[in-house]
Structure 1
């Protein structure tokens, strides 16, 4: 197993904030994502917005009011991190899975960062700038998330650059020895879980 669901769970908890965490009766990733997506409530039926990023974006938009009362900057950032998560996972799938994504990143001159993210050594993941990930992602996909979260596109790219190292790191818990197939299966599982909630 990779650690992908742990990362998703951590981001979801941060986006929900401590108050909702304590009310969380259903444990695990499914419960947390369910509660994030449950925030939509009646608005979900009114808005027929397609696209995973779009719906997650509007879900997180619902949390906006509560977040401004807490620490607006930090919470808003956490919401963007969870909103771009499906975007990043879908991008990895479009590259043909984890190995394809790693090759693509290395082809963009990010070899030292990728090696650091995949390595099992201690310390923080190497930083990647928003401008370095900008050329990797489809502008229309980013625009859609920006519209749904009502955030500038630059903020979306910043969120991608923050989430991408964590995702690659979480998909490679055994470094180079991690099974790429297992990683791809975990990506699909998380995507299915999120889209399953969206279909309810």
Structure 2
């Protein structure tokens, strides 16, 4: 499962239950990203929300700039984040915090050459869907 294993591994060294929770969060985020129109549309929203420099660090080969939940809320808006919060079983602040923690790593892994490869997003989607037997 290469890409998915890399993502889960990069999310931190947790015990099995921690990884299961991270997988559930990743699945919820993946579904939400698809509802937003896909990775490319989400990245466009980040650009429009003034997070272009942060986004470029995730896409580039250097270190990833951090982001906080408030910046994500400003870029995406509470309405869009509420649907993610519902999927994660939390509030908008919790959802934006989870997204702030996971999204830089996800985008970084999806863009090994400095840009998002469509095949990577399809592979990740298929792996996540298969893992949860959708």
TM-score w.r.t. structure 2 length?
0.75
Structural mapping, 1:24-173, within 5 Å: 63=17, 81-121=22-62, 123=63, 125-134=64-73, 135=77, 137-146=80-89, 154-173=93-112
Q: 1: CA distance between counterparts of 2:85 and 2:28?
A: 8
Specify the structure having the higher radius of gyration (Cα): 1
Residues 65-101 of structure 1 show CA distances to partners (whole Å, capped at 9, x for unaligned) of xxxxxxxxxx6xx776444212221233234333222
Q: Distance in 1 between matches of 2:89 and 2:49?
A: 24
Root-mean-square deviation (Å): 3.0
TM-score of the superposed pair, with normalisation by structure 1: 0.53
Unaligned runs of 5+ in 2: none
Does 1:14 find its partner at 2:13?
A: yes
Number of equivalences: 130
Cα distance, 1:155 vs structure 2: 3.4
Aligned 8 A contact 2:57 2:65 in 1: yes
What is residue 66 of structure 1 aligned with on the other side? Answer: none
Q: What is the SS of the residue equivalent to 2:119?
A: helix
Shift of 1:166: 0.5
Q: Structure 1 residues 157 and 97, CA, compared in 2 at 3 Å: closer, same or farther?
A: closer
In 1, the alpha carbon distance for the partners of 2:44 and 2:83 equals 23
CA–CA distance in 1 between the matches of 2:36 and 2:123? 15
Question: 2:32–2:83: 8 Å Cα contact kept in structure 1?
Answer: no
Which residues of structure 1 form unaligned runs of 5+? Answer: 21-62, 64-74
Report SS of the residue matched to 2:30.
Answer: helix
What is the alpha-carbon distance in structure 2 between the residues aligned to residue 187 and residue 80 of structure 1? 17
